[in-house]
Amino acid sequence: DDHNVGRFCALVREMSARVQFIVITHNKTTMELAGQLTGVTMSEPGVSRLVAVDVDEAVAMATA
């Protein structure tokens, strides 16, 4: 639920000053914490493709 997602995000935010995390999620709120997002997409059946986004770079491009 949203309350637990918020608690989880607060814990990750607090601890991320000292450690790195690899988080597997579809939750958009949790993804907002990331500095780097990596995903796997299937553009055609049986063909997987990796997609990586540097969040800070994407935000800079969007606001330029």
pLDDT at 23: 95
pLDDT at 29 over 90: yes
> Of 57, 61, 14, whose CA–CA distance to 33 is shortest?
14
- Rounded average pLDDT over 22-49: 94
Q: What is the pLDDT of residue 43?
A: 86
Domain ranges of the chain: 1-32, 34-64
Q: How far apart are CA 53 and CA 36, in angstroms?
A: 6
- Could you give the count of Cα atoms lying within 13 Å of 27 in the half-sphere of its Cβ? 14
- What are the tens digits of pLDDT across the range 13-26? 999 999 999 999 99
| Both structure tokens of 52 | 């990586």
pLDDT of the residue at 38: 96
Q: Please give the pLDDT value at position 37.
A: 95
Question: Residues 36, 54: contact at Cβ < 8 Å?
Answer: yes
**43-55, pLDDT tens digit by residue?**
899 999 999 999 9
